Amino acid sequence: MKISKNNYRILELLKSGDDLIPSSGIKSFPQNSEKIKRNYKYYNNIFSLLKKGVIEKNKIVCISKPFFKAFDENKKVAEKLWNLRNEVESEIGVLLVPDNLSYFYYIDNNKELEKVSCIVFLFSNDIFLSFLELSYYYDSIKNGNIMYINKGHSFDTIENDESYNVTYTIQIVISFILFKEYAEVELKYLDGKNTKRSNLNNEKIVNEIKFPIEYIDSTWFTTIVHSESFKVSGHFRLQPYGEKLAKRKLIYIEEYEKNGFIRKAKIENKE
């Protein structure tokens, strides 16, 4: 996967002092243009603060295509994570997903007030697709999932579709943050300067934007098959022993050859 100004052009604004609207050349769909024009100062101010926070925190995360596809298609997992939304930590960052989509987000979890406030800008390359500002209290789940949305400024390109959930963008962001916290993930860190290229699970990763990227994949959804035997390198292990195996001792395992195996996806193991 290549992360560059050509497929995530909105990231160019991290390097420039341009406003989001209108000087950056960011585009929008006709049905949203009037609202954007009317509220452009509001979007510019929030985006400017968000951009500053992203640069300070170096918080740009990119999700692999196989991982995103598996996650997006598994509604059961997404639903479980969304029901844990009260546990999300305060965070500011950018989430890059396949098909050139980027989520610029801000999450504030006020544990004293038991209230979560969220803002999400969604872009497709250089097209401004949606803006969502909402808040909810911890008891929103038991009270029918009540969300307080800033309707005067929030919009979405497909919001007139009756089947569309207006909170979808924040669900994506929070679900991924929680998945990263609770499930096993594999990651590569590419600083965009000394480290621009890497590989993860046979996928080539190229970072051309000169900002640090955390690239994430996971085998949590994937059944892995090793049909041929393979060598296991010598390694140390804490070996359980004694009554009820309550004690541990450090032992060294010599290199050996292991037969093929099938490891089920972790999601299957949790069914």
Question: Which H/E stretch holds residue 169?
Answer: helix 168-182
The predicted pLDDT at position 256 comes to 64
Nearest 5°: the CA angle 9, 13, 19 is: 125
pLDDT tens for the chain, residues 1 to 271: 778 878 888 888 888 888 898 877 888 888 888 899 999 999 999 999 999 999 888 889 988 887 787 777 777 778 888 888 999 999 999 999 988 899 999 999 999 999 999 999 999 988 999 999 999 999 987 777 789 999 999 998 766 666 557 788 999 999 888 888 877 788 888 887 777 777 777 778 887 887 888 888 877 665 544 445 656 666 556 567 677 777 666 555 667 676 654 455 555 555 4
Which residues make beta-bridge pairs with 241?
247
Q: From CA 23, how far away is CA 230, in angstroms rounded?
A: 57
For residue 26, the model assigns a pLDDT of 87
**Domain ranges across the chain:** 2-217, 224-269
* pLDDT value, residue 224: 46
Q: DSSP letters along 90-146, please?
A: PEEEEEEETTTEEEEEEEEEETTTTEEEEEEEEEETTEEEEEEEEEEEGGGTTTT--
Tokens in use for 98? 């396949």
pLDDT at residue 88, rounded to an integer: 92
Question: Are 98 and 71 a contacting pair, CB within 8 Å?
Answer: no
Q: Read off the pTM.
A: 0.79
